[in-house]
Amino acid sequence: MQPEVVVVGSANVDLVLPVQRIPRPGETVLAGVMSRGPGGKGANQAVAAARAGARTAMVVALGADDGGALLRDALGGSGVDLSLATTSDAPTGTAIITVEESGENSIVVAPGANGELTLSADALAAIGQAKIVLSQLEIPFSTVQAAAAASTYFILNAAPAADLSDELLAEVDLLVVNETEAEVVGGPDRSALLKKVPAAIVTLGGEGAVVLTRDADEIAVPGVSVEVVDTTAAGDTFCGVLAAALAAVSANDSITGSDLTNAVRRANVAASLSVQAAGAISSVPHGDAIDARYAEVYL
């Protein structure tokens, strides 16, 4: 079936190191037992959208190695359509993640196959027909630009933080950034983002998020208070569930500020569930868990 959400993005093998605290520059710290699992911003977001109930496909480049096999199993097992995935001569991307006892993390990524990702004719056709296209910045900017230009409604999660061209921003329908990324894109006044894109969501960690649109005042959506275990995939869970919620809006209707606010509430709930479990894809909640927590918080 035609996917509702197409994620164009990265997939990595995550090497996770639990530490008492993240090391400072020039410092060595000892870690606990290392774990290895599937992750990457694009893969996490695709799994989140699929588990939230959206028909989801992923445009991704994987290596012909055991890491690629691991990611194919994880994505396919979560219901993500991989018919648009390609195999690269480069190794599968790898991320080294240190997670301290508070749940905060620090991540270094070796892109590998992610840096080889381009869009085939089939990928461009799927992107053009999808309700929502979601991308991030762990893949070549030229690929992000091509996906944005081909899409009907394009969400850019501008992470990792980077300077973005006016050409790319002109194709963005919804920008999702944290506070640091918002300042890189628009400066210290987050309302300045609306000079570059028609709508933006700024995530605030445990404090929730704010919704910015050109035709309404800023709307604050409070976070959901929980005990934090690991924040690794929280932002990606937020983005994937946000995309799934917006894809549920009728294709005949434009996405309104109210639609965005309701989608952010659901995304906040999902992110609050993800931080209560360790790992990346392993921490992404399923739709029934999101529904139950949403009912507790909002109904």
- Binding residues for K(+), by number, are 230, 232, 274, 277, 279, 283
CATH code 3.40.1190.20 for 5-9+40-93+113-298: yes
The sign of the torsion formed by the CA atoms of 19, 20, 22, 26 equals negative
| 33, 86, 102, 113 from 18: Cα distances, Å | 7, 32, 11, 26
Q: What is the pTM of this model?
A: 0.93
- Binding residues for ATP, by number, are 178, 203-208, 235-236, 268
pLDDT digits (tens, 9 = 90+) for 85-113: 999 999 999 999 898 988 888 889 999 99
pLDDT band at residue 252 under the 50/70/90 scheme: low
Q: Which residues are tagged catalytic?
A: 236
* Residue 64 burial (10 A CB sphere; 0-12, 13-18, 19+): middle
Sequence ranges of the domains in the chain: 5-9+40-93+113-298
196, two tokens: 């570059």
Query: Mean of the per-residue pLDDT values for the chain?
Result: 94
Q: How far is 95 from 102, CA to CA, in rounded Å? A: 20
- Binding residues for substrate, by number, are 12-14, 40-44, 138, 236
Contact 268, 209 (CB under 8 A): yes
pLDDT digits (tens, 9 = 90+) for 24-49: 999 999 999 999 999 999 999 999 99
Q: Name the phi and psi angles at 258, rounded to 5.
A: -65, -40
